[in-house]
Amino acid sequence: VNADSSSGLGTVTLEPAFPEFFRIAGDNRFTTAVAISQSIIGPGQSAPVVYLATGLDYADALSAGPAAAAAGGVMLLTTRTTLPAAVATELDRLNPGRIVVVGGPSVISNEVEQALRAFVASPTDVVRIAGSDRYATSRLIVADAFRRGLPHLFIAPGRNYPDALAAGPAASRLGGAVLLVNGNLTSTDTATRDLITALG
């Protein structure tokens, strides 16, 4: 077809393309996290990193999720004192290169941390990232997982979860991070400003 000709196409029918919907679910939050992990890391594949966060509170997981995604890993949940059996089975399947325990012993006990060493090649492949509060922990997670030149940084309040929860998938899609701040402050604290500067 050129500028001096035309061509008849007959009847053209346009039909909307509907996205595929599916449900990922377990019996509880711990097995649901396992099901999500299984949907990301297929059979016979290993995870470069697994972030383990408490399933009994939300704050630590908000920054840990995008950090796990950036490294091609997954996030699983645990109770404070006991590693759920389904999570242990999934860790065995994932054969992770590194496990990051998110939060201090008051959130995830030293006994759980000790049990995690059975799923990695060396005890030093299990590390704990914990700050004095949720904001310090968030900064440490972001500083550990991301380097200067970070393309996107989502900053969200840490006193409630909806905003950071919505930001998490966007950050993960864009290779960015979620950083929690105390939104009640009248100015950004020095530690947060320093981290933002360091990330460029």
3-state secondary structure of 87: helix
Percent of the chain with pLDDT over 90: 89
pTM for the whole structure:
0.89
Q: What gap in Å lies between CA 200 and CA 197, rounded to an integer?
A: 5
Specify whether the CB–CB gap between 152 and 120 falls below 8 A. Answer: no
pLDDT at 3 over 80: no
Lowest mean pLDDT among 3-12, 18-27, 124-133, 182-191: 3-12
Q: What gap in Å lies between CA 27 and CA 199, rounded to an integer?
A: 39
pLDDT at 1 over 70: no
pLDDT at 110 over 80: yes
Specify whether the CB–CB gap between 50 and 91 falls below 8 A. Answer: yes
Which CA distances in Å does 87 have to 100, 185, 199? Answer: 14, 38, 33
CA nearest 102: which of 51, 148, 146, 166? 51
Task: Give the count of beta carbons closer than 10 Å to the beta carbon of residue 100.
Answer: 25
CA nearest 56: which of 37, 36, 84? 84
